[in-house]
Structure 1
């Protein structure tokens, strides 16, 4: 099968703005890539978002009865905590609590979770619900990571949004959060595709032959869990592979939701972006027939359409919602609710769900919430020229190593690790002059902000938290801005930085992540105060990731990754080696 695509040259911001404002329904911050609407001060507002490339999710679901705001990251990369916190602050000005509905991907969980923590520290009533509905990744493989979020996320948006619109004035944030959790607990989804999608501006990469397709496809170009060859018929892929993944009660690893004979079920057939409406309708018909014939399930509601895409992904997903079980759980907590289907059918003017005329008058905006620089206490004096020399050398080495890192990530991830790290490296070198008259604690804090702005994704979140922790560490170990930063003080600050990072990720040495290189570096430097030995320890840690399977990130979803070094760990080592070359 040949995949043809076109290149997109206009900036992501312009694309999003055109998509959003072209619908004449909402308001868009180009600087922060936040789409928001006027919310009700008596009701809970819902925010979602994530990497771009899934349109109409999430921007198309901002509207009365669904989302209050959507935060758009770069392509397949989580938005930054600054973006998310800005969105929280914007909708909080006119709402009674903010609920963040987050797809279960490491970057999204990290950034939205940290944003919620910061929002609560500001006195904002904010909660997070993480959605995961994928059955391709079973309990054994998913481990501590859990199920990925796929098209079922949209049903969580729709039903929870309807509840928030109708009942949140009475039940508040806690009640609205509970609804989202109940819906997620009764959702299952499986995807499949003939090919990976073509990401604009990137080289098309795929390991699939023309006679193959993938089962268990995600929405970020990550490999499925099984390659099928030869390509089965549409009937067979649905009846022999996809529906059993959702409904086989003997498969304890993947059977997440009970479906009994008389349960009411809602069916969603979602287009991953590259399938015609005619084919999607045919798939819905086949699925409906097989559900009735093989499982005695006759869906009471069938939804078909393009809701959660992977750009032009040539595939589809099947989602089942056990409406009976969800309704029973809702009734226990909210006696006014007759059926979850009433919430699913409730009116919304979100254009990604259905189009209605709406008010286009822009609300007044507190622009200061979208601006501002991170401020921290001054601590630690340092040699800026030497610091700049180290950063430039590290960035240069990282850029030089990008092809190797990208090659590794195409085998165990979605192929963007090298590009992401290079974006961060360029961000560092371009912004270095801004740090020349700052204390080291302030310079590192600003560097954390730059990394988050330029990298995005999981890597950006991890490095940003790490550097933020380093800044706070310097504040703790240095008396003031006049204290010279010695190796001893820097080692202590690194230890605090690592502890800070560990508050927001369960990844540890042996998980096949950048932590396998980071922790040995920090521990060795703390012990010997010898940068060269610390880099050697980091290098050994990175190489070790090629001897065991990944437990976190997208690599944990694919097949055997035990023979491939983690690209994130390799990237960190390359940056450190660059510094070492001029140390």
Structure 2
């Protein structure tokens, strides 16, 4: 691995500007790190994105018949909700027939794109979210409820769904387009391997691998693979004995995500993680194709090879298989016009990063900059007593601050020790901005707090609470007729149920996972049943205590040796906040 690399100032912005200069039919909004193309009226728009460092993904897949726009985050980090929401608003102005967000299955991406979708819906924009996961390396046992990671198979979802949107979305709309993306994802499998980690710009190269080791199951964010191979096998043995069995062995119940039979039409995609020569990638294509025929009776109907989804200069590659026959059968049931998924794959595109692209010189679209400057406004719903609300929030915040040492102590045992500080940052953010919060309706106040929480807390916790509060705000809007209707216990209960349902769209954590859900769900269910806040708080506290009786299934706690005797710090934090409110009643 070469540890030296060219370094530039402000690499993300300069890279995006350079890409736009080389592709003049695209418009760049530097402040939001959004790139978009002109979109035909009446078509469903496709937005994707994520952390930078995977080039040509995602900007390289903007084009007719593929993506409409992309949102770029920092290196290997999700873009913010504000960036994504502004992209949705701009794209919706060009094509108001719906916006589909195609999101890679990584926690930050799922939370931020999910929260953006919720906020866009509050603005009256028709938005759907499809989360992509095609990796088989982690497996069901280790992946648990988090699901499969997204790897190079994501690009096939972009291509096939984009072609459908261009050809048929005027008829089948946003839901139909989202269904296509889900069907393709359900028929994808991918596994990666790498000789070493990549060199991230601006950071020191770090790797624990020796010259005699490589990793199987490599992701695209420089994270370790699932298995170290020593000594390094030949490329032929790596593919035949390690990679293809993980993709195709039907007896491996942990990894058999897609069935393949000898009569199925299959698409093979060999992806360069960034540091392998084109010469070797072509050899890998030939070797893989031969092994598929000899050992699995599979002759790929279409082979795609190249640099599609990278980890900077990662010295590795991935193999993706798409069961085109099974995908076609599912598509035909919904869309009679689609004779084969291969037809959609073959549909021409002018996306510059797609290996087979059709280039035409087009003018770049214009952007109404006012859209980027508009504040998020939600409907006014629910008359409330701001003075009492302020007192409750401050009491809850004070309780969190007093409990921080205990929460931090718990998190040092089952996490990375920052949960207490994160919660304190969140409540301080709210308290310090109470004077700016709307006093006219509770729905507006909660929506504003959702925005504050995301900014002040950050990370996974900030995203989860922000989505929960956004759902709560929507729940109030759905339940109350207008801003004059008082927020009764019945209204509150219904809004909390909707908030919980909203959160569940973007996390698979449930009661028994040892997360803040173990306190949240009992609180919501008890209050919904009894309308008694004290009983609901007691249920939350009991739920938090129960997390010391079973293993964690989410977050860093799920990776420690034994978390079954330690209360989950996130659940304890929520319980303490609610207890603080209760003490003011």
If the length of structure 1 is used for normalisation, what is the TM-score? 0.76
Match of 2:297 in 1: 296
Q: CA deviation at 1:129?
A: 2.9
Mind listing any 5+ residue stretches in structure 1 that lack a counterpart?
A: 411-416, 484-488
Paired with 2:332 and 2:446, the residues of 1 have a C-alpha distance of 51
Paired with 1:303 and 1:500, the residues of 2 have a C-alpha distance of 43
- 1:313-344 residue CA offsets vs partner (Å, 9 max, x unmatched): 33221001123333444445445445433322
Contact 1:267-1:320 at 8 Å conserved across structures: yes
Counterparts of 1:277-356 in structure 2, within 5 Å, are 277-353=278-354, 356=359
Mean alpha-carbon deviation: is it higher for 264-273 or for 151-160? 264-273
Paired with 2:338 and 2:392, the residues of 1 have a C-alpha distance of 65
Cα distance change of structure 1 residues 435 and 421 upon mapping to structure 2, 3 Å threshold: same
Paired with 1:334 and 1:539, the residues of 2 have a C-alpha distance of 47
Match of 2:34 in 1: 34
User: Which of 448, 451, 461 does residue 450 from structure 2 map onto?
Assistant: 448
Match of 1:10 in 2: 10
Mean alpha-carbon deviation: is it higher for 342-351 or for 330-339? 330-339
Cα distance change of structure 1 residues 141 and 380 upon mapping to structure 2, 3 Å threshold: same
- 1:503-522 residue CA offsets vs partner (Å, 9 max, x unmatched): 42342343143445777999
Secondary structure of residue in 2 paired with 1:49: strand
Cα distance change of structure 1 residues 242 and 391 upon mapping to structure 2, 3 Å threshold: same
Paired with 1:467 and 1:373, the residues of 2 have a C-alpha distance of 14
Paired with 1:18 and 1:561, the residues of 2 have a C-alpha distance of 43
Counterparts of 1:45-444 in structure 2, within 5 Å, are 45-95=45-95, 96-120=97-121, 122-200=123-201, 208-353=209-354, 356-365=359-368, 367-368=370-371, 370-374=373-377, 379-381=384-386, 434-438=433-437
- 1:426-470 residue CA offsets vs partner (Å, 9 max, x unmatched): 798789765435468666643421343466654332021244467
Contact 1:517-1:542 at 8 Å conserved across structures: no
Paired with 1:147 and 1:307, the residues of 2 have a C-alpha distance of 19
Alpha-carbon RMSD: 5.0
Secondary structure of residue in 2 paired with 1:280: helix
Paired with 1:267 and 1:225, the residues of 2 have a C-alpha distance of 23
If the length of structure 2 is used for normalisation, what is the TM-score? 0.76
Q: CA deviation at 1:266?
A: 1.7
Match of 1:413 in 2: none
Counterparts of 1:537-552 in structure 2, within 5 Å, are 548-550=551-553, 552=554
Secondary structure of residue in 2 paired with 1:67: coil
Mind listing any 5+ residue stretches in structure 2 that lack a counterpart?
A: none
Secondary structure of residue in 2 paired with 1:93: helix
Contact 1:473-1:494 at 8 Å conserved across structures: no
Paired with 2:235 and 2:422, the residues of 1 have a C-alpha distance of 41
Paired with 1:57 and 1:424, the residues of 2 have a C-alpha distance of 34
Contact 2:468-2:503 at 8 Å conserved across structures: no
Q: CA deviation at 1:40?
A: 1.0
Cα distance change of structure 1 residues 221 and 520 upon mapping to structure 2, 3 Å threshold: farther
Match of 1:510 in 2: 512
Q: CA deviation at 1:154?
A: 0.5
Contact 2:520-2:540 at 8 Å conserved across structures: no
Q: CA deviation at 1:379?
A: 4.3
Secondary structure of residue in 1 paired with 2:368: coil
User: Which of 443, 463, 466 does residue 465 from structure 2 map onto?
Assistant: 463
Secondary structure of residue in 2 paired with 1:285: helix
Paired with 1:111 and 1:34, the residues of 2 have a C-alpha distance of 15
Q: CA deviation at 1:30?
A: 3.1
Cα distance change of structure 1 residues 260 and 387 upon mapping to structure 2, 3 Å threshold: closer
Q: CA deviation at 1:543?
A: 6.8
Contact 1:97-1:124 at 8 Å conserved across structures: yes
Match of 2:562 in 1: 563
Contact 1:396-1:578 at 8 Å conserved across structures: no
Cα distance change of structure 1 residues 518 and 192 upon mapping to structure 2, 3 Å threshold: farther
- 1:232-258 residue CA offsets vs partner (Å, 9 max, x unmatched): 222222111110011112223322223
Q: CA deviation at 1:55?
A: 2.5
Mean alpha-carbon deviation: is it higher for 303-312 or for 104-113? 104-113
Paired with 2:126 and 2:570, the residues of 1 have a C-alpha distance of 38
Contact 1:498-1:519 at 8 Å conserved across structures: no
Cα distance change of structure 1 residues 338 and 517 upon mapping to structure 2, 3 Å threshold: closer
Cα distance change of structure 1 residues 121 and 474 upon mapping to structure 2, 3 Å threshold: closer
- 1:468-512 residue CA offsets vs partner (Å, 9 max, x unmatched): 4677899999x999x9xxxxx99x989976972454234234314
Paired with 1:97 and 1:443, the residues of 2 have a C-alpha distance of 28
Contact 2:541-2:575 at 8 Å conserved across structures: no
Paired with 2:566 and 2:83, the residues of 1 have a C-alpha distance of 26
- 1:190-235 residue CA offsets vs partner (Å, 9 max, x unmatched): 1122334455566766554554333222223444333323332222
Aligned positions, number: 564
Q: CA deviation at 1:152?
A: 0.7
Paired with 1:174 and 1:499, the residues of 2 have a C-alpha distance of 21
